[in-house]
Structure 1
């Protein structure tokens, strides 16, 4: 865990006379234990890894999402509407070592799945321990970056801190409910439900053609605990329309504390590990984030799978920072 200080944050932006930037106002801490002394309800941190995506033979680059988001967020105006005082920017979990090890593995090798799956499990453990501590202080962890595999560590950390399973609502084009083989970015919630960390799981925006029949069959075994709201029904057929579908999904997960997941793979044209040509608009994703971040508050938030290409770093960073603002302001 690399903890950021004020000097580091302000070094990331150009300060302007007559303006206050986020970098100058957001909360910082010297050590983890100081989190509980702060009044800000949200603790923001980055996850710098793409091992989980590689473990599923996916496109690397999600490790860069946090830095893109951070720079855009720190450069935002600090005013009474953006409310930077509601956020503590903690720092990042840097998994460079695990990424280097993963990059040396042969995807066609006999032991690839088992070996890289163990690396993902190490990342799970680190994420869950940090999240458990943050939640134990009464704060809400907000994790940016990495693959959707980190949903498992987040759920486990919250569940451990609260002493029981929680619910999850996820904006995603995929199920993240694949078979319990080695750990990777598309089986976080099949594992989390199997381990007893998740009670109810709502998937918002799943595409009918992106999910294998065997996954649908697996979800059918948990039919009273999994609710899925198809993108084609919500947006193409408008049955139910978006503004009603989010209410139905929220009602499904309201009986317990819940986590909020936003996989940017669900957003049309968003540079990501599985970019889609058809999906929710960025505005709809922001509305989703806003709707699920209020009354009641989520127990954690996770925004994942973004891949900021060199020509798109500023755009991706601003998009991720906008989602953070929708959640916290």
Structure 2
């Protein structure tokens, strides 16, 4: 497929640090030589990365999410392969080749009055590739695991699921933001707006929304919509962990009645290095519980982890955190 880099064992060999008597997660992963082999694969999950932050730049966010995929791989490939981690259930597909698009984005002049429009055009080109890959995975009867990249890629995920399923897909989004901004040009803040506009988004739920960073017009639009709903993080902060999990299950029960995708924006996690890092949010272990609970649903079609932005000289192992999310998803509680 044009615009996609398929991986094989040689691609990742230099990233795996072996130790005598032990088997690493990366040693047990499967690969394909062509997208036509997807359907014949015995793996249940198909993992791929989107190393870009074009949509984030277009939304005036902090770049750095382009590094998340590499950070994730370096950690995930080196965890232990054992009876609990289940690497044989994962096909490592590869990554969307974002180098040319990222190079163009980096060379745009920020003083250009069309700067954001040009970034939006690049994001739209990325949408086409993302939607094609996700469509191929879901059509093959597999569950996609997508590591971004910005939340602009939610649109490509939804479009791909729509093409595979021939119907709108429901979304449960763990996020500090709605990403329902205006559809003037494509960026990380309006993936769901575009999906809603094109009638490819079914029921949409935002869990953990931050009231301080949500425009009033979006609140009004959600309240008036029969298919959209939110739970404010501020309404959950004083509740017990059990009550928060109960609230998450309620949102999940509503979206998981039909085919759905789980979106995780790392902005929702307290102190997580991301494009809009926040001192408040869900604890990481609670988010791990959310992922495990959602992964048990028979109608789940994909997990998208986005907006993680690894930072140098920061006392937080972003790659390790992302690898925990992935193993939580492929090993339900």
TM exceeding 0.5 = yes
Structure 1 position 87 matched with structure 2 position 96:
no
| 1:243 to 1:64, Cα distance in 2 relative to 1, 3 A | same
The alpha-carbon deviation at position 230 of structure 1 amounts to 0.9
Equivalent positions of 1:163-202 (< 5 A) are 163-202=166-205
Cα distance change of structure 1 residues 92 and 236 upon mapping to structure 2, 3 Å threshold: same
Q: Displacement of 1:235 after TM fit? A: 2.3
Q: Give how far 1:296 is off.
A: 2.3
TM-aligned CA deviation for residue 312 of structure 1: 4.5
Deviation at 1:16, TM superposition (A): 1.1
Alignment RMSD (CA, Å) = 1.6
The 1-side partners of 2:16 and 2:275 are apart by 28
| Distance across 2 between alignment mates of 1:168 and 1:33 | 28
**TM-score of the two chains, using structure 2 as the length reference:** 0.95
Is the counterpart of residue 271 in structure 1 residue 273 in structure 2? yes
1:55-204 matched pairs, under 5 angstroms:
55-204=58-207
Question: CA separation in 2, counterparts of 1:112 and 1:153?
Answer: 22
CA distance in 2, matches of 1:216, 1:80: 46
Q: What is the SS of the residue equivalent to 2:282?
A: coil
CA distance in 1, matches of 2:196, 2:310: 31
| Counterpart position of 1:301 | 303
Q: How does 1:208-247 map to 2 (within 5 A)?
A: 208-222=211-225, 224-237=226-239, 241-247=243-249
Deviates more, 1:113-122 or 1:73-82: 113-122
How far apart are the structure 1 equivalents of 2:94 and 2:315? Answer: 19
Distance 1:216 1:258, change over 3 A: same
For residues 290 and 210 of structure 2, the distance between their equivalents in structure 1, rounded to whole angstroms, comes to: 17
Contact 1:179/1:215 (<8 A) preserved: no
More deviation, 232-241/40-49: 232-241
Q: CA deviation at 1:297?
A: 4.3
SS at match of 2:182: coil
* CA deviation map 1:233-279 (0-9, x unaligned): 12235599212111110122123200000000000000000000000
Alpha-carbon separation, structure 2, partners of 1:101 and 1:234: 42
Cα distance in 1 for partners of 2:213, 2:239 equals 18
SS at match of 1:19: coil
- Contact conserved, 2:127 with 2:153, CA < 8 A, in 1? yes
TM-score relative to the length of structure 1: 0.96
Q: Which runs of 5+ in 1 are unaligned?
A: none
Aligned partners of 1:235 and 1:241 also within 8 Å? no
Mapped contact 2:53–2:149 kept (Cα < 8 A): yes
Residue 310 of structure 1 corresponds to which residue in structure 2? Answer: 312
Q: Could you say if the C-alpha distance between residues 30 and 199 of structure 1 is closer, same or farther in structure 2, counting changes exceeding 3 Å?
A: same
Q: Secondary structure at the match of 1:82?
A: coil
Change (3 A) 1:36 1:311: farther
